[in-house]
Amino acid sequence: MTVYAIIGGTGLTQLEGLTITAALNMDTPYGAPSAPVLRGEYAGREVLFLARHGHPHRIPPHQVNYRANIWALKQAGAEAIIAVNAVGGIHMAMGTGHFCVPHQVIDYTSGRAHTFFEGELDHVTHVDFSYPYDEKLRELLIAALAAEHCEFSSHGVYGATQGPRLETVAEIARMERDGCDIVGMTGMPEAVLAREVSLPYACLSLVVNPAAGKTTALITMAEIERALEQGMGKVKAVLARVLS
């Protein structure tokens, strides 16, 4: 039976309902991960859980040690990863509270340690990243969202920005022209690092605010926190259904 790892983002620093059997304080060649890797049982399955931003939530997106996180999950026995991401909505369908299971990503980040294949190498390695998300995992998430009667899009392009600031109106307009449907700060290099260590990876994105220029109001943390509070119950129900 597949051992799933769940990476929790903003709003999901702990997985309520997880019966913890071990908290693994792991060391990696890339330093320490964001938090201990929690091993336990959730929805009747053995799972691993890692809080991307630490617990408590303290590590900003551009300072997450993505390499250590993915390496630690692989070493702990993960066989597939479901990543939970809070995002902004660009496409008109992506309103607050809407879910998206992206099928593509555009990387606008810079300066992040983004590969395991560097330094003293025996040979140069290039991974095929044409389709960044595992299709079987995507199908499981889509089926679970439908079964939970959530409003969702089965496809979407995730635009990954550097953060920690939110984007300008002009930047969102550019991303929309590029074909992005949602915008977040943690989708990359997490997805490609999983590919480099041969871990199937898919993303469950919850829209927590309209992107810059998609509303006349200012984007506030209070608004985002309300959307997270309202949406995380559904996130947990979807995860439970996938695992069961």
Average pLDDT, integer, range 75-84: 96
Residue 11 is predicted with a pLDDT of 63
% residues pLDDT > 70 (the chain): 98
Q: Is 188 annotated as a binding residue?
A: no
Residue 192 is predicted with a pLDDT of 98
| Residue 239 or residue 2, greater confidence | 239
243: pLDDT strictly greater than 70: yes
Residues 63-74: pLDDT tens digits?
Answer: 999 999 999 999
233: pLDDT strictly greater than 70: yes
Domain boundaries, the chain: 4-113+129-243
Q: Is 210 annotated as a binding residue?
A: yes
Q: Is 65 annotated as a binding residue?
A: no
Superfamily classification of domain 4-113+129-243: Nucleoside phosphorylase domain (3.40.50.1580)
Give residue 120's pLDDT band: very low, low, confident or very high (50, 70, 90).
confident
Average pLDDT, integer, range 168-184: 98
Q: Is 92 annotated as a binding residue?
A: no
180: pLDDT strictly greater than 70: yes
Q: Is 52 annotated as a binding residue?
A: yes
Residues 20-40: pLDDT tens digits?
Answer: 889 999 999 999 999 999 999
Q: Is 186 annotated as a binding residue?
A: yes
For every residue of the chain, DSSP letters joined together read ---EEEEE-TT-SS-TT-EEEEEE---BTTB--SSPEEEEEETTEEEEEEETTTTTT---GGG--HHHHHHHHHHHT-SEEEEEEEEEE-STT--TT-EE--SEEEE---S----S--SS-SS------SS-S-HHHHHHHHHHHHHTT--EES--EEEE---SSPPPHHHHHHHHHHT-SEEESSSTTHHHHHHHTT--EEEEEEEEEEPTTSSSSPP-HHHHHHHHHHHHHHHHHHHHHHH-
Q: Is 143 annotated as a binding residue?
A: no
Residues 127-147: pLDDT tens digits?
Answer: 999 999 999 999 999 999 999
| Mean pLDDT for all residues in the chain | 92
Q: Is 114 annotated as a binding residue?
A: no
